[in-house]
Copies of this chain bind each other. A is one copy, B any other.
Amino acid sequence: MFIYFWVFNKNMGISERKEREKEEQRERILSAAKILFLEKGVEKTSIRNIADQIEYSPGSIYHYFKDKNEIFHALHQGGFQQLMSRMEVLTAVPNPMERLKRMGAIYVDFALENPDMYDLMFIKEAPMDHVFNSNDEQWKEGFGTFNFLRSTIQECIQEGYFRGHEEEALSFLVWSTVHGMVSLHIRRRCEVILAQRQSTIVKDGLHEFFSILDRLSS
């Protein structure tokens, strides 16, 4: 009886360590992939590149991830956690219209500070196939940040703003507006057209948006 218990303990200790080591290796692959993905882009980063970076064999990576897309996807999820945590400060802003504006600013800041991660999350086409085939809670729960936007706009409507507007479509419009600005910037569609002010155009556009919101309030 005593011996069985000891064996049981021993097994558990080892399997726990094993699992920990496996998790560490997974993390090592992920952080190498992140560096390379954000540096050279997803398409131009090969499994061999990632393997080289951590002095590993290409084949071994397939022990930790089903395919290249799964690596992409893991990073994708991390990005949403980052963005969500930035939004947390907004719970302290009681006025919904003020909250809406600050939300836009946080969103734009996140995109401008992490353009490659934003690209990964909202522009690239690769991840979405995976999202549909997997049980990605981040999306299945409905992209928490978007729901937060919706509830904020709902509150705005309740307080008398946006009279006559439909909440869902308006939320989509607001999301589209900020997404449009940052994605045109990230995918370099402003550089030729607005060359002389490409560094400020997104923030300037955002302020035009804010002043439109102010106008709608009064």
25 intermolecular pairs with C-beta atoms under 8 Å apart = A122-B189, A123-B123, A123-B187, A125-B188, A128-B187, A132-B192, A139-B192, A139-B193, A165-B211, A168-B197, A168-B201, A169-B201, A172-B190, A172-B204, A172-B205, A173-B212, A175-B184, A176-B181, A176-B205, A177-B180, A179-B184, A180-B181, A180-B183, A212-B216, A215-B216
**What is the size, in residues, of chain A's interface with B at 8 Å between Cβ atoms?**
50
- With A123-B123, A143-B192, A192-B142: A179-B172 Cβ-Cβ less than 8 Å: no
Residues of A bordering B, CB below 8 Å: 41, 43, 122-125, 128, 131-132, 139-140, 142-143, 146, 164-166, 168-170, 172-173, 175-181, 183-184, 187-194, 197, 201, 204-205, 207-209, 211-212, 215-216
| Chain B residues whose C-beta falls within 8 Å of the C-beta of A173 in the assembled complex | 177, 181, 205, 208-209, 212
Copies assembled: 2
